[in-house]
Chains A and B, each alone.
Chain A
Amino acid sequence: MSDSENAIEVHRLTKRYGGATAVEDVSFDARWGSITGFLGPNGAGKSTTMRMMVGLARPTAGHATVLGLDYRRLPEPGRHAGVLLDASAQHPGRTGREVLRVAATVLNLPEKRVDEVLTMVGLTPAEARRRTGGYSLGMRQRLGIGHALLGRPRVLILDEPANGLDPAGIHWMRGLLRGFADDGGSVLLSSHLLHEVEVLADDLVVIGGGSVVARGRKSDLLAVAGTFCRSADEPALAAALRDAGLSFTRAAEGGLTVPAPAEQVARAAMAAGVVLDELRAAEGGGLEEIFLRLTANHAREDSTEGSRR
């Protein structure tokens, strides 16, 4: 039995393949009643992190909990956490309806629930009778989201769910996920597009090159105005800011950008006895700039990824 304050807790997850590090020391939480956007360019380590969260990949270090438990310890995981990692990963010869019926068999759910979910995700009975090999990516996403929702979970873990959806489909998905979170559930969704999660997420975790580069409330991270500060003891400064309830982003050249007035930052540093070497108004900064810099490095991979999909 476990009572968990956060729906998902990720503690210092690290994954190395041989000498290459795919994910480095990633930590974040997903709160109940909110949507957490997991943002980063393609190849940043989002999918690898999510695979480790649900037990499909073994972390080199660190661990994650879903509803306070290791995902693999969950009784009937499909009734607690709905997972969609790749909507295209379907047997092309199986009908959409049958995909849900197999899951309903595993979760011991009645046929009626399959019909409910098909209606919920907007797949018509005729579409559901077709084999998924003939589905568009948008239809596969709807089926995948339906598969995740089937067991009436409290947590959703979705990897790029908006991919392939048309504007109407994206609008539908936003409403669905908002309602899910407003009912007290928790949603973690990844995307490589800032604007996609900007409108939807309450909290953001931004990952680049396998590491978290920014995390916090969306409203804080998107605030352009802010304060740049620097200390010789940056970890202590970061801890001081955290203690004061301030979010921050790391600047590439060192130092931290805080979406708060200089006076608040100075007080936070003083309270923790951290010496500031630099304290000034941030130039631009904010999430948008960080994300642009991250994606610029991956622009080429991005375009090949785009053509593949």
Chain B
Amino acid sequence: MSTATTGRPGVPFGRQLRAELRKLTDTRAGRWLLAVIFAVMPAVVAGMLVVAKPATLTYSQFVNVTSSPERIILPILGILTVTTEWSQRTGLLTFTLEPNRRRVLLAKGTATLLLGVAVVAVGFLSAAIGNVLGAALRGGNGSWSFGPGGYRDIVVVLLVGVLQGLAYGMLLLSSAAAIVVYYVVPNLSSLLFTAVSGLKETAAWLDLQKAQAALYLHDVTATEWAQYATAALIWVVLPGAIGVVRVMRSEIKSS
């Protein structure tokens, strides 16, 4: 018996993307993580409505408090979408159904960025509801001044966070190691740059947390963009590039 096999190698991208979106939401751990990621924004808005001074209840301030925790937890989604394939060994299935690993990574990146966009939207919505309620219930300031630049800055900061998670995941291929490194290394970096006096000058260029602080304040200058781009190159692009090479080359094993 002979068989003819024709067609483009691998699987159409749209299907792989749908499968990766499914895998982010079809386990208990995944659902919990998403629940926390989405619930934290209305939760901090509610908290702020109770404890904050009425004068500080502005849209800008609400956006700030919803996006800050997301910058910390959203990257976990990026980490886990990659590392579970190794930690839970599901890569044996994933990479035999689609042997083109680059395309699998692209689908994972797209899936997590789409969820990141949804998180950003829920964040702005929560902030808007908070601002309306703040003015109505607490006699808050209620200012809507924010400007298009602010939306851009928040989107950039959070989506770069997702990319950072993906990068650390690919670089380390282990959930525990990637999460620890993601939380510890930037803090060590900030500590280093604040403690060593000679490095303070360069911190704005080399320390990602310091560089991205400007984006939260909006009205970002050209120099500040350059500083942010440089820091992101070091902390996101470089580990991501090494990580992609590692995924492409590594052997997918069962143990």
Q: Does A89 contact B (CB under 8 A)?
A: yes
Residue on B nearest A157 in the bound complex, by CB: B96
Check B22 against A105 for contact (C-beta < 8 Å).
yes
Whether A32 contacts B19 by the Cβ 8 Å rule is: no
Per-residue contact bits, chain A 93-109, to B (CB 8 Å; 1 contact, 0 not):
11100110111011110
1/0 per residue, CB under 8 A from A, across B95-132: the answer is 11111100000000000000000000000000000000
Q: How many angstroms from the CA of A58 to the CA of B247 in the assembled complex?
A: 13
Say yes or no: is A72 at the interface (Cβ < 8 Å to chain B).
Answer: yes
Chain A hits for B5, CB < 8 A? 1-2, 67-69, 74-75, 80
Q: Is the CB of A72 within 8 A of B9?
A: yes
B164–chain A nearest beta-carbon distance, Å: 24
Inter-subunit contact A93/B92 (CB<8 Å): no
Query: Quick check: A54 and B1 within 8 Å, CB to CB?
Result: no
Q: Are A147 and B93 in contact (CB under 8 A)?
A: yes
Of chain A, the residue at the smallest CB distance from B254 is A86
We find that the number of chain B residues with CB closer than 8 angstroms to chain A is 42
List 13 contacting pairs A-B, 8 Å CB cutoff, sorted by A.
Answer: A1-B5, A54-B99, A56-B252, A72-B10, A72-B100, A83-B96, A89-B254, A92-B88, A103-B93, A105-B19, A106-B97, A106-B98, A108-B12
* Given A91-B90, A106-B98, also A76-B10 (CB < 8 A): yes
A75 touches B7 (CB 8 A): yes
Pick the interface stretch among B26-34, B143-151, B186-194. B26-34
Q: Please state if A89 and B92 are interface contacts (CB–CB under 8 Å).
A: yes
A51, A89, A90: the one within 8 Å of B251 (CB): A51
With A56-B251, A103-B93 known, 15 other A-B pairs at CB within 8 A are: A4-B2, A54-B96, A55-B99, A56-B253, A57-B251, A57-B253, A75-B5, A77-B97, A83-B96, A86-B89, A86-B254, A89-B89, A98-B26, A105-B22, A184-B1
| Residues of chain B with a CB closer than 8 A to A67's CB | 3, 5
Whether B93 contacts A75 by the Cβ 8 Å rule is no
